């Protein structure tokens, strides 16, 4: 079947009609097509038809359909016989509507030519503006606009654009010529060139075309038009477009349409203008008409910044005490029409619109309308108010706010008004902004913060023993590591702004100096970090505190009523647990018990345990830690009363707890009865080449069963203590990390069960608990059926699963991930958004096989991805029961989960 | 359907007959059943029938079938009505045959009772011997054997065994009683007890039974028999048996049979004897009758070592100048029968047999025959000679040698006659044995070996820069690391004996001391390592050099003709490549180019490259390395002329090449124009937390394209140089390591192709080459379809794939893998044999998806598993094209591949 006949058939089915003309007109408040005809008219053509049908004054024009494209390729690059006539007919309709004539030297009609396929597709010919200009019509344009320079500037731009995309002339030739003329004129900016200079540029450009093409620049507007149409169709099959289609699974037979539209000008006198309007205030969301305009100007003039645009409304003008004249005053009639259009558009699109308009000789034209970009606060307010106004449903409202945008609302940010000298950029690891004095150690951070100083902790990388310093600091900067490095994960959990992997910064701890971009900063120098942007900024910059509106809470409530998945938090400290609960967490999905080991009160006992020669010594040391762990769990259970708390047994390799400084070593030596030399020897023995793949997780539980025994005992005792108090109910879930085989689980589950039995027997009381595992190794996902024989729940540890599946250490990735994103090898950082094709497949396999063996198995995710909207959406698609993320990301996850479960 | 009816139906189908008696007799050269009735008679019963049908003088007996077991469970633990009568009938047949009467006090028949199910199954009741003994018959036995002590010892053993497994009395009660009597008698060994003592033991034992059971030990032999039969059936459903069946997927309805067989005695006078015979010499394989016997003795006497057994044959006796009397001389008639049986058995089983026999009053009984254990040399000789004798086919011959046994033949081993003081054990990383002086550094190893000393290199772990020292050493010992640690892999490649992960050894490099088991050894002390056993041995021990027989080469030839998969070697030096080719490698499956970077002549340039601030600097340094690489490749291509050579581009992270000593740093500083301080700073920056998951493999190729460009250039130039020489043909396969996405391959393939184009253009000559990738990350296996769009071959890098799939670092695994094997979490070291369930599934997925996209894709494996027979068999099962392994393992892989492709 030929391309044409296939397409015709598809089109007929789609439109349920036999109509299949080659050309569809639009403008003057009506159109031949409509928004449902995207396949035939392309996205752009359908939108233009849509706006026209709404009665908006769109500059008139017409769309040559994708059927023509198919015909073109099916018939050796020729057009249907009747196309030329149809184009002429539509062109004359446009002429009539605008009151100008295509090719007329006095009052020339100029048009734009744009491609437009069903899906937006880079790599194709984009736009030719001002088509119709030639040596004659340029004079007409000059007269009409009373601006010779403008006319010739338009002409030379047209030649350049047409020469490049239609005639295929290397664009650097035009740039060289322009540069030469600027040199001759002794100017550096294009805007400094005079009208005469522009005439000269046009002359040079035409010479280039003649030289390159062997024939002069086409002067016949009709010829220009047909060349442009052919160029659009031709670009459908160029290499870049083909590659793009291949990568995005777009069939070649979709074809492209061509949109031809009258140019309108806002610079033809004082009865002309150009501007941009928002149907609501894009920064606050307030329901007021908001925008700016410039009279007698083109869009470019706004960009060039030579003249200051004025407010559209009197109230807008008054708000900033502007002396200018608002459009409401200068063009009251036109303004009224614009105000009407504002209402039409909001009602039609049911969203705040960003409208581009031009007034040509008192006639208003709407060039474009689209959903307007807005701040997070505005997004929330608009969504909530539109529900209250009855414009959209609650479900629609929750889809109007980008979950990740909420970060803006939850953290302090830099005062947008202040200027910033950015020293370098790293990865935006934890949002929020903070200023403070540089410190290079966790202890120093704590000391200075206790003295009331704001500090920024600057480290090559952080480790669990820096946690007190991270807590004391206002923000954290590291020079190594990726989005899930220790610093990033912990900072997000604490809600501290954090920039990681700032590779251009070098740190000399001994000298207490940080060097970046050839400048040195010492301890105590002021810097600011913007964790949302990943910036390190010189000096101190004022910040704006977050202020959560009532609308925010309302929107969250709606989200909660719509979502299927539960949202939990990763938290271990009472502070974090309380924040999490405040943000709506429905339990703890990951309590990392090792974070409790670093407390100064217990770290010595932990180290003593590691240094013991035998089990007896280890048990003695663990006995000292037990009461602390129990107390920790009691607090957590109380805060999370009635909600599940997933406690992960000790996970990191023991060497993470080793003493480093001489003082620490001496202290451990003292309590353990060993020499400092012996302590150092044991430390060396414990060192690992690849700790991530080392002696950690349940491997510790197998080789040193007494550790997990102590932890299990602390958990069960805490359960009973809390459940004794009235009104507190405990739902403990004990999680075994890093399992790769079912036998590991079998052995450890037996051990934990026997501890529970012993504790329950002693206290003559029992409590329900479950035992599950983290799926964080590819093997665990593949053998999930086997693991599910033992595990009552799975929590996908996507950080480690990403590290192992990809073979990428999150701590070392900073050295190549930027290049990987630059070359398009990775579209997203797999530590930020789940790699659905690889890691995602393992998660899917894990879920399927787990459910096969144990249909009621509880499935969740506790990696950092739990707070990433795209990943949350993936979790919904495979039917997980919950996601768990840092406390500060809980609202994001709640919204994302609601969007995911109410999509379509 | 009931158990019985199900089984009956199955049995009918199997035997194609309706016969289904409850009891089957055997003995006296005939049997009711045969070897095909395994399901009905169990394994043991079928074997006894088989031997009887062969005409062998098996002690007579009968088998109660598995149908009875099914009946028993289907009918509330009762027996078929006619069973008792059938048992009596068969018992009297046995009585007649042996000439003794069951329960007769003068001439008692004693029997053994054994379970026997279709599959061998631990956890069930095994054996009760001497059933039929009681206070009366024991006297008959005493008279008959003329040995009162023996009779009462047999009786007390019977009570103990019967009490434990049939009556369910705790066996420690019997042991305590025996210990007390020994204490009273003032002896320590059971053998020191007199006949009177034994009578006392019997008395005590009977008291225990009475006390525990509330009734006396059953004196009625019939009652004993029926209790034992019930115990066998009961043990089919005990907890251990159930668990075992569950783990091994054995259906409960298979049931067990019960075998009842006459006891025969070799200790009833000088016309009695017991012995063991091999149909051929198990240590040399020579086709002679070989064995030992003891007259007037039981099997136990041989084990107890009180009397020295004599040779069976005169020639055997003469060979060792023994003064004893051979069986050939002492019992010529019986010996003749045994000789006949030797021939019958070899012809029937077509393999060397290990035969247990007893002579009771000049009557020969065969108790058991099975394939005999043998040395590697014997295995090869027997297999080859049996083919020459026309007994077995070539295909059968190659299945007669355990591939891993060949290791014994290929490496020197310790003189079996010498005694060894084993200091500690580590992992047996590379077979062979060597003695030498301890050295603690690679440089020292080289120095001393140049002075003609044999040295053993002792290191905590090794790294690529130790390679010259490993080469110079006779053997390598490390205290860390697993079976695929650097030391293990390199040592195997070089054929050096190596023990790794000897965790009990601590090394102090500064002091030059190694401590093990409380003893210290300094540099220069003599030690021996046995790489096949993983032993570190004190002092120097003589070794036996390997001597490959003609039979070995013949067997290999047959193997080659039978196998489907190709076998290649992992090699990069000319020496290794030559060894590989000598051992029959059909190409190189993995040439690790980084090994070529450590040569002293080039390491400075390599370091200069790493230290360069920019690409220009790096290119300058790489230009110096290029000629060396080219030369390396020329040599390899020449050695492997006509065979494919897979060259892996640079894989390890750059920090592996960094200078360490001050001297090295100074040297690099000099050539790179940097200060030593700057060199150290760069080194610190390059350090990685988890280098295995770091900036390595194709990630280097992406971020520093100039490195792969240099390597590609060297390869293509070498190709042209070699192909210019007549008679040399080059088949280069360029392998990109550590790919996780197709875009990585796309980018690098383009780069390599363009280098090829440039080289070919310049030399006006082209050569065919292919580009492929290593599959060593779970993501790569999962996305193999995508990778196959670019890659023309896949080589599964199972070392790294195991590390990532399991999340186990091979360098750090020694700290927990032993515990993991101890607890049965891992049955095999996954770095030795592919973990088929996890890693294997990824390989299978990788193959499937790769072939889906590119059906002709070449698939191989180049991890250490390529030389492991079980893994080779897995590779065959998924249809890989080749395996690649260390040169010394090539013969093993050839044999294993032949076995795998000719199995069934």
Active site residue A862: yes
Between B461, B690, B837, which is nearest A783 by CB?
B837
The distance of A580 to chain B (nearest Cα, Å) reads: 31
| Confidence at B303, pLDDT banded by 50, 70, 90 | low
Residue A395 has pLDDT above 50, yes or no: yes
What kind and span of H or E run contains A710?
helix A705-724
| Alpha-carbon span A125 to A118, nearest angstrom | 15
Please spell the DSSP secondary structure of B848-896, one letter per residue.
Answer: HHHHHH-TT-EEEE-SGGGG-HHHHHHHHHTT-SEEEE-GGGHHHHHHH
Per-residue b/e over B224-244, b at no fewer than 16 CB within 10 Å? bbbbbbebbbbbbbeeebeeb
| Confidence at B1, pLDDT banded by 50, 70, 90 | very low
One-letter-per-residue 3-state SS of A623-678: HHHHHHHHHHHHHHHHHCCCCEEEEECCCCCHHHHCCCCHHHHHHHHHHHCCCHHH
| Alpha-carbon span A119 to A551, nearest angstrom | 35
- Measured CA distances, B414 to A858, B408, B541, B887 (Å): 57, 10, 7, 22
Span A201-227, average pLDDT: 95
Chain B residues closer than 8 Å to A691 by CB: 689-690, 809, 812
Contacts of B827 (CB under 8 A, 6+ apart): B821
| Contact check, Cβ <8 Å, A811/B738 | no
Residue B289 has pLDDT above 90, yes or no: yes
pLDDT at B11: 47
Q: What is the pLDDT of residues B550-568, one digit of tens each?
A: 899 999 999 999 999 999 9
| Confidence at A120, pLDDT banded by 50, 70, 90 | confident
What kind and span of H or E run contains B442?
helix B442-450
Chain B residues closer than 8 Å to A738 by CB: 807
pLDDT at B39: 93
Percent of chain A exceeding pLDDT 90 equals 65
Span B709-719, average pLDDT: 97
Residue B532 has pLDDT above 70, yes or no: yes
| Contact check, Cβ <8 Å, B690/A809 | yes
pLDDT at B12: 43
| Alpha-carbon span B190 to B703, nearest angstrom | 75
**Backbone angles phi and psi of B80, in degrees to 5:** -60, 150
Span B247-269, average pLDDT: 88
Q: What is the pLDDT of residues A813-856, one digit of tens each?
A: 888 988 898 888 888 889 999 999 999 999 999 999 999 999 99
Of the candidates A275, A281, A278, the one whose C-alpha atom is nearest the C-alpha of residue A354 is A278
For residues B754 and B670, the answer to whether their CB atoms sit within 8 Å is no
pLDDT at A303: 58
Q: What is the pLDDT of residues B804-844, one digit of tens each?
A: 999 999 888 888 988 898 888 888 889 999 999 999 999 99
Residue A19 has pLDDT above 60, yes or no: no
- Long-range contacts for A222-228 (Cβ within 8 Å, ≥24 apart)? A222/A102, A222/A103, A224/A131, A224/A132, A224/A134, A224/A162, A224/A166, A225/A87, A225/A102, A225/A111, A225/A113, A225/A131, A225/A132, A225/A260, A227/A162, A227/A166, A227/A167, A228/A113, A228/A128, A228/A131, A228/A162, A228/A166, A228/A258
Encoded tokens for A577: 């647990």
A30-31 β-sheet, strand order: A30-31, A23-27, A61-64, A256-262, A111-117, A127-131
Q: Specify the range with the lowest mean pLDDT, choosing from A494-508, A751-765, A859-873, B199-213.
A: A494-508
Counting one residue from A and one from B, how many pairs have CB atoms under 8 Å apart? 172
Average pLDDT value over all residues in chain B: 90
Chain B residues closer than 8 Å to A779 by CB: 805-807, 835, 838-839
Residue B318 has pLDDT above 80, yes or no: yes
Between B685, B738, B819, which is nearest A702 by CB?
B819
Residue of A243, A488, A690 for testing the chain B interface, max B β-carbons within 10 Å: A690
For residue A723, what are the β-bridge partners? none
| Contact check, Cβ <8 Å, A842/B694 | no
| Alpha-carbon span A222 to B53, nearest angstrom | 105
Span A150-162, average pLDDT: 93
Q: What is the pLDDT of residues A452-466, one digit of tens each?
A: 889 999 999 888 778
| Contact check, Cβ <8 Å, B703/A842 | no
| Contact check, Cβ <8 Å, A837/B685 | no
A281 alpha-carbon distance from chain centroid: 23
Q: Specify the range with the lowest mean pLDDT, choosing from A11-20, A424-433, A571-580, B154-163.
A: A11-20
From the DSSP assignment, how many helices (H) and strands (E) are in chain A? 36, 34
| Contact check, Cβ <8 Å, A689/B691 | yes
Encoded tokens for B357: 């026999």
pLDDT at A89: 94
Q: What is the pLDDT of residues A286-317, one digit of tens each?
A: 999 998 898 888 876 665 556 778 889 999 88
pLDDT at B555: 96
Span A729-741, average pLDDT: 96
| Alpha-carbon span A174 to A202, nearest angstrom | 10
Q: Specify the range with the lowest mean pLDDT, choosing from A161-170, A299-308, A402-411, B653-662.
A: A299-308
For residues B359 and B272, the answer to whether their CB atoms sit within 8 Å is yes
pLDDT at A20: 45
Percent of chain A exceeding pLDDT 70 equals 96
Between B506, B741, B782, which is nearest A841 by CB?
B782
Residue A498 has pLDDT above 80, yes or no: yes
Q: Is B743 on the interface with A (CB under 8 A)?
A: yes
Which residue among A90, A411, A486, A865 is the active-site one?
Answer: A486
What's the angle, vertex CA B438, arms to CA B434 and CA B442, rounded to 5?
95
pLDDT at A430: 85
The distance of B820 to chain A (nearest Cα, Å) reads: 8
Catalytic residues of B: 486, 862
| Contact check, Cβ <8 Å, A825/B506 | no
DSSP A11: H
pLDDT at B600: 78
- Measured CA distances, A880 to A872, A901, B19 (Å): 9, 11, 57
Span B5-12, average pLDDT: 47
| Alpha-carbon span A464 to A475, nearest angstrom | 16
| Alpha-carbon span B404 to B893, nearest angstrom | 9
| Alpha-carbon span A48 to A116, nearest angstrom | 11
| Alpha-carbon span A654 to A121, nearest angstrom | 53
Span B456-485, average pLDDT: 87
| Alpha-carbon span A865 to A842, nearest angstrom | 15
CB atoms within 10 A of CB B52: 25
Hunting for tokens 């120095």 — which residue is that?
Answer: B447
Span B710-736, average pLDDT: 92
Span B570-585, average pLDDT: 93
0.95 surpassed by complex ipTM: no
The conformational region for residue A147 under phi > 0 = left, psi -120 to 50 = alpha, else beta, is beta
pLDDT at B768: 95
pLDDT at A566: 98
| Alpha-carbon span B88 to A458, nearest angstrom | 91
Q: What is the pLDDT of residues A218-251, one digit of tens each?
A: 999 999 999 999 999 999 988 778 877 876 778 8
Q: Is A32 on the interface with B (CB under 8 A)?
A: no
Average pLDDT value over all residues in chain A: 90
| Contact check, Cβ <8 Å, A838/B779 | yes
For residues A571 and A591, the answer to whether their CB atoms sit within 8 Å is yes
Q: What is the pLDDT of residues B838-877, one digit of tens each?
A: 999 999 999 999 999 999 999 999 988 999 999 999 999 9
- Measured CA distances, A745 to A792, A855, B229 (Å): 11, 19, 39
pLDDT at B441: 92
Residue A726 has pLDDT above 90, yes or no: no
Residue B13 has pLDDT above 80, yes or no: no
pLDDT at A407: 81
pLDDT at A661: 83
| Alpha-carbon span B266 to B301, nearest angstrom | 10
Residue A768 has pLDDT above 80, yes or no: yes
Residue A9 has pLDDT above 50, yes or no: no
Chain A residues closer than 8 Å to B691 by CB: 689-690, 809, 812
| Contact check, Cβ <8 Å, B693/A690 | yes
Instruction: Scan residues 656-685 of A and list those with Cβ closer than 8 Å to B.
Output: 681, 685
| Confidence at A663, pLDDT banded by 50, 70, 90 | confident
| Alpha-carbon span A778 to A805, nearest angstrom | 6
For residues B132 and B224, the answer to whether their CB atoms sit within 8 Å is yes
Residue B18 has pLDDT above 50, yes or no: no
For residues A92 and A222, the answer to whether their CB atoms sit within 8 Å is no
The distance of A673 to chain B (nearest Cα, Å) reads: 20
Q: Specify the range with the lowest mean pLDDT, choosing from A526-540, B18-32, B160-174, B602-616.
A: B18-32
């Amino acid at each position: 079947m030929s391309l044409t006949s296939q397409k015709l058939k598809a089109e007929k089915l789609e439109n349920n009609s036999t109509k299949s003309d080659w050309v569809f007109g639009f403008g003057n408040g009506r159109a031949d097509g409509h928004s449902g005809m995207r396949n035939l008219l392309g996205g752009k053509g359908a939108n233009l038809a849509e706006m026209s049908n709404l009665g908006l004054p769109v500059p008139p024009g017409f769309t040559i359909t994708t059927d023509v494209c198919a015909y073109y390729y099916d018939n050796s690059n020729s057009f249907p016989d009747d196309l030329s006539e149809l184009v002429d007919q539509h062109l004359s309709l446009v002429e009539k509507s605008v009151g100008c004539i295509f090719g007329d030297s006095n009052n020339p009609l100029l048009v734009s030519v744009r491609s437009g396929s069903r899906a937006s597709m880079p790599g194709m010919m984009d736009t030719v503006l001002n088509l119709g200009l030639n040596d004659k019509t340029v004079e007409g344009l000059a007269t009409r606009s009373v601006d010779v320079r403008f006319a010739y500037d338009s002409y030379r731009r047209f030649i350049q654009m047409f020469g490049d995309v239609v005639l295929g002339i290397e664009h650097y030739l035009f740039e060289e010529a322009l540069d030469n003329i600027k040199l001759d004129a002794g100017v550096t900016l294009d805007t400094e060139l005079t009208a005469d200079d522009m005439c000269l540029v046009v002359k040079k450009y035409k010479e280039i075309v003649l030289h390159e093409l062997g024939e002069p620049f086409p002067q016949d507007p009709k010829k220009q038009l047909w060349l442009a149409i052919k160029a659009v169709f031709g670009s459908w099959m160029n290499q870049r477009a083909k590659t793009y289609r291949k990568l995005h699974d777009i069939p070649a037979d979709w074809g492209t349409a061509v949109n031809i539209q009258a140019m309108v000008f806002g610079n033809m006198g004082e009865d002309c203008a150009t501007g941009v309007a928002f149907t609501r205030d894009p920064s606050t969301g307030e329901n007021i008409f908001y925008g700016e305009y410039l009279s007698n100007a083109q869009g470019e003039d706004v960009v060039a910044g030579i003249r200051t645009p004025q407010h559209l409304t009197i109230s807008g003008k008054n708000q900033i005490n502007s002396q200018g004249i608002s459009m409401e005053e200068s063009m009251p009639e036109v303004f009224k029409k614009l105000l009407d259009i504002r209402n039409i558009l909001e009602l039609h699109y049911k969203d705040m619109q960003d409208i581009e308009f031009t007034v040509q000789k008192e006639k208003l034209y709407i060039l474009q309308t689209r959903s307007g970009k807005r701040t997070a606060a505005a997004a929330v307010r608009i969504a909530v108010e539109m529900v209250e106004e009855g414009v959209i449903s609650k479900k629609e409202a929750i889809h109007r706010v980008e979950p990740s945008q909420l970060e803006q609302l939850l953290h302090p940010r830099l005062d947008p008004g202040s200027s910033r000298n950015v020293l370098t950029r790293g990865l935006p690891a934890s949002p929020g902004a903070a200023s403070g004095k540089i410190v290079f150690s966790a202890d120093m951070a704590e000391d200075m913060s206790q003295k009331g100083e704001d500090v920024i902790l600057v480290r090559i990388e952080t480790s669990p023993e820096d946690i007190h310093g991270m807590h004391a600091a206002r923000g954290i900067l590291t020079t190594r590591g990726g989005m899930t490095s220790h610093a990033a994960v912990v900072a997000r959990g604490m809600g501290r702004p954090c920039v990681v992997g700032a590779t251009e910064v070098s740190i000399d701890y001994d000298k207490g100096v940080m060097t970046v971009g050839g400048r040195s900063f010492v301890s105590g120098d002021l810097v600011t970090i913007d964790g949302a942007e990943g910036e390190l900024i010189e000096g101190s910059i004022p910040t704006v505190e977050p202020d959560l509106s009532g609308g925010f809470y309302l929107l969250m409530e709606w989200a909660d009523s719509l979502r299927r998945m539960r949202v939990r938090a990763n938290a271990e400290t009472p502070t974090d647990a309380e924040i999490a609960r405040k943000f709506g967490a429905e339990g703890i999905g990951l309590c990392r018990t090792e974070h409790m080991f670093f407390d100064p009160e217990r770290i010595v006992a932990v180290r003593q345990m590691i240094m013991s020669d035998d089990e007896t010594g280890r048990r003695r040391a663990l006995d000292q830690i037990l009461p602390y762990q129990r107390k920790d769990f009691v607090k957590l259970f109380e805060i999370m009363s009635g909600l599940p708390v997933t406690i992960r047994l000790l996970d990191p390799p023991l060497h993470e707890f080793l003493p480093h400084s001489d003082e620490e070593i001496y202290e451990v030596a003292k309590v353990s009865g060993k020499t400092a030399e012996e302590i150092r020897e044991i430390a060396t023995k414990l060192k690992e080449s690849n700790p991530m793949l080392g002696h950690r997780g349940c491997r510790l539980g197998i080789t040193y069963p007494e550790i997990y025994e102590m932890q299990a005992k602390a958990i069960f005792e805490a359960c009973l203590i809390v459940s004794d108090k009235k009104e507190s109910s405990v739902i403990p879930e004990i999680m075994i990390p890093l399992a790769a085989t079912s036998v590991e689980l079998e052995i450890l589950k037996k051990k934990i069960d026997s501890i529970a039995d012993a504790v329950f027997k002693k206290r003559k009381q029992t409590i329900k608990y479950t035992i599950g595992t983290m799926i964080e190794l590819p093997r665990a996902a593949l053998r999930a059926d086997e693991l599910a024989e033992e595990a009552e729940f799975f929590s996908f540890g996507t950080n480690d699963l990403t590290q192992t599946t990809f073979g990428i250490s999150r701590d070392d990735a900073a050295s190549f991930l930027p290049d990987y994103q630059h070359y398009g090898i990775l579209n997203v950082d797999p530590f930020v958004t789940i790699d659905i094709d690889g890691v995602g497949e393992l998660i899917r396999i894990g879920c399927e096989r787990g459910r096969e063996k144990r249909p009621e198995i509880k499935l969740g995710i506790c990696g950092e991805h739990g707070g990433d909207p795209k990943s949350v959406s993936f979790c919904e698609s495979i039917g997980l029961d919950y996601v768990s993320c840092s406390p500060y990301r809980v609202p994001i996850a709640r919204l994302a989960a609601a969007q995911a479960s109410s999509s379509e």
